[in-house]
Amino acid sequence: MKITAILSILLSFFIISCGDDSGSSAGDSETITNKTISGVVQIGPFEKGATIAVYELDEKFEQTGRNYETEVENDLGEYSVDVKELKSQHALLKASGYYRNLTTNKQSMNKITLYAIVNILDDGGFNVNVLTHLAYKRTIYLITQKKMHLEEARKQAESEILKFFGMDDNFKEAGKLDILEKGNQSEALFALSILMQCEIPKNNTSKRLELIATDFEEDGTWDDEKTKALVADYFYELFEKTRYSNIQDNIANLYPSIDIPSFDKYINRFWWNIYGLKDCIEKRKNEIAPNKNSNSDFVKKQFICRPGIWRAASDKEISKYYWPDNLDSIKGKEGDTYIGKNDTTICYVYRNNSWEKSDPIHCIVGLCTEKNQDVIQKGTAEEWYKCNNLKWEKSDECTYTISKWKDGKEWEIRHEKKCNDQCYVYDNGQWRLGNVFDCNLGFAVCTPKRTGTIQEAPVLNTKMDCDEELHFNEKSYYSTCITEIISIDTTQKTFYICRDDSNHNFDLMHAELKYLTYKTGGLTYFWDIASDTEINTEGLSCPEEGKLVSGIKNSQKQYLCDRGSFREAKEIEIAVGLGCTPHTYGKFEILKGTKSYLMCDSLFEGDTTYFYWDVSPEKNQGTMTDPRDNTIYKTINIGTQTWMAENLNFADSTKFPSILNRNSCEEDTLDNCEIYGRLYTWSAAIDSVYWSNKGITCGYTPEKDSSCELSETVQGICPKDWHIPSVKEWDTLYEWMTKYSMNPYMSIFENVGFLPQEFYNEIIFWAFNDFDSQNAYEITTDYTKYIKDGVKYAKGYSGTSPKNNQHYIRCVKND
């Protein structure tokens, strides 16, 4: 038998530290004791159950590791946390939870985290809101890098943010603001909160808030032009559709006792500023100006200043505003053009015996009419244009050359030097750009009817040459790519699939898209390397979302329908018998052959939401009552096992003689037994008196050299129907949680039954297995090696310990 069996399994759990810190800095301040910190957490109303944590900061404004945590008390976001001891007067407040979105009147899709830097010695409440969050990194930067005092730094940071959003910066401290109070400050905070929680697709609110706070950190301004334009576009559209009436209704429903705040003036001022529109004052009445923001989806859209507000200008208003005074007196003939003098970017054309405003390109290449349909003309800066349906469309010299070709034979191939010597195919009565399959493998053309068709062919060795790198949502792709075949390997074959680029979620930089050689204004159809999933599900129709099907060519492979297409099923989905997809999100399923419920959950990372099965703490939790003393313990189902989720605290030696003089409390304090459970020797844990009555001597026996070799199940000190776990049962617990949980051991170990670090650096439990007459197996949890963001990460391993030592007990239920 080996003396030590290393498990090396990563555990993670939260430890609520009870420390000894207070004052303005960790080194020179008096201890702050028994301080109650209270206030409200607001963006929309934070919901009951959200967490609020107080993290002590040292003189460098770094976390000391001492913190306190509580929950939001109600759906108004109110909280109160009792701080026992702090050595620093400076702290970081962290609020995390779900909230009611003011723009949608729905619970937020993801949790949000807000921060605030506070001085614990200040009087009054400590509110956490959007303004405290946007300012907290900038405040710390000014303190640590510019050597400012906290109040000076906080005031400057908050003032910079308010000025950026066009708000009066003469506000009281952000941590004292409350959106439920009357006045301009409440209205501005409402507006700032609404601006920050807009529902932008693929744009997580919490992540966006943190990025904006980071953006403000060093220079006190928000420089992310793309995100600013996204937010501006969102509220401009909302203004045009509802004039924010839906938000006003949501506020009235959530806060029926307050007057609706005038937040709209600040939101309007924000998108006006982002669009480059000046304030709509009296002297600008009826002025028309374009949106100048190139990142906006509404760039160049014309707006008109009407009493106090900018709105989209109608075609009639635009024409009237820009129409030259002398244009109606100018005689013209069909096709004549005239460049506006008020705005030289506007072109007027003479069509059907009258002047009309038209596309500026008409003033460059002439009027596009039915007579010159399909004609290609050269414009300025080597640009080419094609006349199509009375409109000029951008073209190129290559297209001009191809347009002069005569009709060819079906699937005829030609090469053109002006088009980089690329081959062209005569397809369905017209010439189109060919791909490597058309020009080198002789495949039938990839058409809409053949989409999804799979064919086997030799492997192509290619290289791709692209010009004009573009960017979209932080991903790169190239507007024109030419694929050159280096060689064709006829000794190897692979599968190709006919697909199009209609799936906007398709990553255009994926390595398997090396054969994309042609893009047009509509869809592009092309042959691509087929994935294993596509090969194995060819011809199958997608059944109900989340349902599993077997592969065609490999029936051992399992696939599931996820958002209308197949993907390979994960091991846990096969074990559950159901896929975790948006359709099954929130469902609970018992894992086959176990007692444990799994829940289909989601995780948002970057621009992607991931769905996965995870252990459900809520569904698997329960309680049991020890009939010997009526103590109630929390329990948790983990796989095929049911464990106590708290350490045993049974002390009646008259009912259980084995524990007499063989148990204790930490620091010999009964209160610690109530909080952390009781410590027992191994002989007390396994009930040595019981085994002695059966003629088996257990416990610490120096005169013997052998172990007492107990049976497979030992009740010991545990209640009826429960028993002391074996080393094997501990192993089973660790292995199961590592395999099936995104957060191993949180359910069974989070905050329950573990000791503060001031007692020990590790926690030890007994197993019922003994090693020899003097030592038995223990399970050790060492949590001093890994500490990150207030979470302590522990490693669990088994070893041996003298039987006279005292450790904790976790009981496991009999099968």
Residue appearing with tokens 């800066």: 381
Which pLDDT band holds residue 434 (cuts at 50, 70, 90)?
A: confident
What angle do helix axes 184-196 and 130-146 make, rounded to 10 degrees?
90
Of 280, 341, 353, 348, nearest in space to 311 by CA = 280
* pLDDT, average across residues 220-243: 93
Q: Do the domain assignments include residue 193?
A: yes
Structural domains counted in the chain: 6
In angstroms, the CA 535 to CA 553 distance is 8
In angstroms, the CA 264 to CA 102 distance is 13
pLDDT in tens, 725-743: 999 998 888 777 777 654 5
Neighbours of 506 (CB within 10 A): 12
- Give Cα 432 distance to the centre of its chain: 43
Q: Which of 502, 530, 558 is the last residue of a domain?
A: 530
Q: Which of 498, 530, 562 is the last residue of a domain?
A: 530
> Percent of the chain scored above 70 by pLDDT?
82
In angstroms, the CA 473 to CA 492 distance is 37
Same domain as 461, residue 361 = no
In angstroms, the CA 527 to CA 809 distance is 63
Same domain as 707, residue 572 = no
Same domain as 166, residue 39 = yes
In angstroms, the CA 463 to CA 449 distance is 29
In angstroms, the CA 71 to CA 18 distance is 17
**The pLDDT of residue 366:** 84
416 CB-side CA count, 13 A: 18
DSSP string of 306-364? ETTEEEEPPHHHHHHHHS-TTGGG----TT-EEE-SS-TT-EEEEETTEEEEE-TTHHH
**The pLDDT of residue 65:** 92
Which pLDDT band holds residue 802 (cuts at 50, 70, 90)?
A: very high
What distance separates the 2 farthest-apart alpha carbons in the chain?
124
Same domain as 62, residue 210 = yes
Three-state DSSP class for residue 419 = helix
* pLDDT, average across residues 204-231: 92
Enumerate the β-bridge partners of residue 798: 779
Which pLDDT band holds residue 710 (cuts at 50, 70, 90)?
A: confident
Q: Do the domain assignments include residue 126?
A: yes
**The pLDDT of residue 270:** 94
Residue 599 phi, psi dihedral angles, 5° rounding: -120, 140
Same domain as 241, residue 349 = no
Measured CA distances, 138 to 7, 209, 302 (Å): 44, 13, 37
* pLDDT, average across residues 787-815: 75
**The pLDDT of residue 561:** 85
Q: Do the domain assignments include residue 82?
A: yes
**The pLDDT of residue 466:** 62
Same domain as 720, residue 802 = yes
Neighbours of 485 (CB within 10 A): 14
Measured CA distances, 283 to 276, 278, 305, 311, 319 (Å): 17, 12, 10, 16, 21
**The pLDDT of residue 4:** 35
pLDDT in tens, 149-182: 999 999 999 999 999 998 877 888 888 998 888 8
Q: Do the domain assignments include residue 748?
A: yes
pLDDT of residue 475 exceeding 60, the answer is: no
Of 275, 108, 129, nearest in space to 199 by CA = 108
**The pLDDT of residue 325:** 67
* 801: CB partners within 8 A, 6+ apart: 682, 764, 775, 776, 777, 778, 807
Q: Do the domain assignments include residue 464?
A: yes
- Give Cα 216 distance to the centre of its chain: 21
In angstroms, the CA 492 to CA 469 distance is 33
**The pLDDT of residue 268:** 94
CA angle, 98 as apex, 94 and 99 as ends, to 5°?
A: 100
Most confident of 198-207, 366-375, 478-487: 366-375
**The pLDDT of residue 148:** 94
Please tell me which residue, 452 or 767, carries the higher pLDDT value: 767
Q: Tokens representing 584?
A: 């099954």
pLDDT in tens, 332-364: 788 888 887 666 777 888 888 888 878 888 888
In angstroms, the CA 551 to CA 560 distance is 10
Three-state DSSP class for residue 442 = coil
Please tell me which residue, 514 or 631, carries the higher pLDDT value: 631
Q: Average pLDDT over the chain, rounded to whole?
A: 80
Q: Which of 347, 365, 395 is the last residue of a domain?
A: 395
Q: Do the domain assignments include residue 707?
A: yes
pLDDT in tens, 30-80: 788 998 999 999 887 788 889 999 999 999 999 999 999 999 988 888 999
Which pLDDT band holds residue 571 (cuts at 50, 70, 90)?
A: confident
**The pLDDT of residue 808:** 92
Of 634, 812, 815, nearest in space to 723 by CA = 812
Domain that holds residue 373: 327-395
Same domain as 154, residue 50 = yes
Q: For residue 26, with 0-12 CB atoms within 10 Å meaning exposed, 13-18 middle and 19 or more buried, which class applies?
A: buried
* 631: CB partners within 8 A, 6+ apart: 625, 649, 650
276 CB-side CA count, 13 A: 15
Same domain as 455, residue 380 = no
Residue 557 phi, psi dihedral angles, 5° rounding: -85, 140
Three-state DSSP class for residue 801 = strand
* pLDDT, average across residues 503-528: 50
Same domain as 279, residue 387 = no
Q: Is the dihedral of CA 721, 722, 724, 726 positive or negative?
A: positive
* pLDDT, average across residues 574-579: 85
* pLDDT, average across residues 700-721: 83
Q: Tokens representing 488?
A: 């064709």
In angstroms, the CA 277 to CA 147 distance is 38
Which pLDDT band holds residue 455 (cuts at 50, 70, 90)?
A: confident
**The pLDDT of residue 8:** 31
Contact 642, 736 (CB under 8 A): no
**The pLDDT of residue 11:** 28
Residue 159 phi, psi dihedral angles, 5° rounding: -65, -40
Neighbours of 460 (CB within 10 A): 21
**The pLDDT of residue 503:** 56
* 532: CB partners within 8 A, 6+ apart: 557, 568
Q: Tokens representing 37?
A: 């910190």
DSSP string of 595-663? S-EEEEEEEEETTEEEEEEEE-HHHHEEEEEETTTTEEEEEEEETTEEEESS------TTT-GGGTTSE
Find the radius of gyration of the CA atoms of the chain: 36
Contact 647, 779 (CB under 8 A): no
pLDDT of residue 13 exceeding 70, the answer is: no
pLDDT in tens, 543-570: 778 888 888 778 888 888 888 788 888 8
Q: Do the domain assignments include residue 5?
A: no
Measured CA distances, 106 to 45, 47, 609 (Å): 11, 11, 19
Q: Tokens representing 345?
A: 């970017």
pLDDT in tens, 652-686: 998 999 999 999 998 899 998 988 899 999 999 99
Same domain as 316, residue 213 = no
In angstroms, the CA 194 to CA 260 distance is 14
605 CB-side CA count, 13 A: 4
pLDDT of residue 428 exceeding 80, the answer is: no
Same domain as 496, residue 381 = no
Contact 328, 355 (CB under 8 A): yes
AA identity, residue 224: D
Q: What is the pTM of this model?
A: 0.43
Same domain as 97, residue 44 = yes
* pLDDT, average across residues 603-614: 80
Contact 287, 302 (CB under 8 A): no
Q: Do the domain assignments include residue 775?
A: yes
